[in-house]
Amino acid sequence: DMYSHDGDADEPEWVKTEREQFVEFRDKNRDGRMDKEETKDWILPSDYDHAEAEARHLVYESDQDKDGKLTREEIVEKYDLFVGSQATDFGEALVRHDEF
């Protein structure tokens, strides 16, 4: 996002936060710009497992009794969430696996 001062002396809090994030984490070589590698690390961090994060999200949103396991009923109740998930290949895995 771009912020324009437009005569406003006070920056919004989100601008300050973004500036801090840039200086502290994104601009690793401290040249005031994000080069190709810095941008890649920002968009696709190497220490972030997207599949695990999506799986945790599905369990968190669907596990109604919070036992850490999903029942067929819990999955069916949140079917739209699973169909829209990359972790289930956008619903394709639901038809290929008997356990679902």
Which of 98, 86, 97 lies closest to 52 in space, CA to CA? 86
User: Looking at the predicted structure, is the pLDDT value of residue 31 above 90?
Assistant: yes
Query: Percentage of the chain surpassing pLDDT 90?
Result: 39
Average pLDDT over residues 17-39: 93
Q: 28: which residues sit within 8 A by CB, 6+ positions away? A: 38, 41
pLDDT grade for 86, boundaries at 50, 70 and 90 = low
Res 43: pLDDT: 87
35 plus 54 within the same structural domain: no
57 plus 87 within the same structural domain: yes
pTM listed for this prediction:
0.45
Question: Is 99 within the bounds of a domain?
Answer: no
Question: Is 57 within the bounds of a domain?
Answer: yes
Average pLDDT over residues 69-79: 91
User: Looking at the predicted structure, is the pLDDT value of residue 84 above 80?
Assistant: no
Domain span holding position 33: 13-43
User: Looking at the predicted structure, is the pLDDT value of residue 1 above 60?
Assistant: no
Question: Is 55 within the bounds of a domain?
Answer: yes
Q: Are 100 and 94 in contact (CB under 8 A)?
A: yes
Q: Are 75 and 82 in contact (CB under 8 A)?
A: yes
